[in-house]
Amino acid sequence: MPGGPTINDKFPDIKGETQDTTEFSLYDYLGDSWGIVFMHPGDFTPVCTTELGTAALMAKDFEKRGVKLCGFSCNDGKSHKAWIEDIKTVTGGSVKFPIFCDPSRAVAAELGILDATNMDAKGLPLTVRSVFIIKPDKGIALMMTYPASTGRSFAEILRVVDSCQMTVKHAVATPVNWKNGEDVLVNFPLSNAQADERFGKDGYKIVEVPSEKGKDLARNYLRTTADPMAS
């Protein structure tokens, strides 16, 4: 994986220090859970302060989805602890999840997330602001990278988690702007006969489109069905 891991690669077992331990292992921490690792260029940065506070305030939303959070910043554990106090004061969020320490940038270099155009006061490159959603098998389900000036949308991250968790269990995909409970799409590779077996003949709808008009097709490309995880 030159340049760092990408979608469907295994996310490496980063090991080292957090604000609470010097013997952290990402794999041990995640166990069989889903995980989210979100990168920050450094402690005491304004955008990241608001993000970590929001993540802490939304911890129960992630917990009920079986998702464990892990931050990552290029400072040491002492710095992280002081930053966490600021985060609590500013946002009201108490950061209980680990924030990985990488002051040498060694792990960031392995992950391919250093930005040579963005340096700290010591002239060292900072990490890009990437988010990795990690499946229980440690494969990367999603990557998103934000500029330093733009805060992440945790509502969007939750939406993506919901989509990823559903689509690994069911033969569906989620359309644009999908939200929990809304109709989803039948997986494109499935033939209509296979869709009949999966969803029942009346369990999905074929969307009529001009390109398919008058054709007897083994597989229509646009088919909708109910959210299989809706209560």
The CA distance from 185 to 202, in Å, is 15
Q: State yes or no: is 101 an active-site residue.
A: no
Contact 76, 102 (CB under 8 A): no
CB atoms within 10 A of CB 146: 17
Contact 143, 131 (CB under 8 A): yes
One of 48, 70, 74, 101 is an active-site residue; which one?
48
Label residue 59 exposed, middle or buried (CB < 10 Å: 0-12, 13-18, 19+).
middle
Residue 193 φ then ψ, to 5°: -65, -40
Token couple for 24: 């952290």
Contact 224, 204 (CB under 8 A): yes
Active site residues: 48
